[in-house]
Amino acid sequence: MFHEPRFWTALAFVLFFVIFGRKIWGVIASKLDGRADEVRKNLDEATRLRREAEQMLEDSRRDHSLAQEEAQALIAKSNEEAEKLRAQAESDAAELVARHEKMARERIEAAEKMALRDIRREAAALALAAAKDVLSKKLAEDPDLANKLINNGLEALPHAFGDKAA
């Protein structure tokens, strides 16, 4: 038995653990406790980070819903403003058409008045020319008629001016 290497190996093993066992066990236990503490810290940190992430997700969802509501309100307001602008444009266009129509009617009326005035002048000129021709023929036939017309005209002159010249 003392000559077998297995005996000496087993004895060395037992002696090694008897002599250094407490020290090694203390070191191994402290390392394992340190590792357990580190794992615990990591788990606590992971839990805290998860809570923060969930809070951030909730905040993000709330912000997203608020942004959607604001966007919908902005779209509705834009639609209302566009409708007001369209109605104003229609009103302005109708007013512009009415103004142009009124100006066109006024121009037509002015042109009609000018045409009537020109026709009246032309008619008066034709009537005067015709009267001149008739009178010249009548006066050429009866010379006393000219004297009678001149005398009658001179006598009626003060009455034509309202008796102011007399």
The span from the CA of 56 to the CA of 51, in Å, is 8
**pLDDT exceeds cutoff 50 at 166:** no
Hey, which of 60-64, 128-132, 151-155 has the most confident mean pLDDT?
Answer: 60-64
C-alpha span between 102 and 120 (Å, rounded) = 27
**Structure tokens that stand for 159 in this block:** 């009455």
The pLDDT of residue 164: 57
Dihedral (CA of 86, 92, 95, 99) sign? negative
CB 139 within 8 A of CB 131: no
Most confident of 15-29, 107-121, 135-149, 152-166: 107-121
Kindly indicate the confidence band of residue 90, based on its pLDDT and cuts at 50, 70 and 90.
Answer: very high
Residue 80 sits at φ, ψ, to 5 deg, of -60, -45
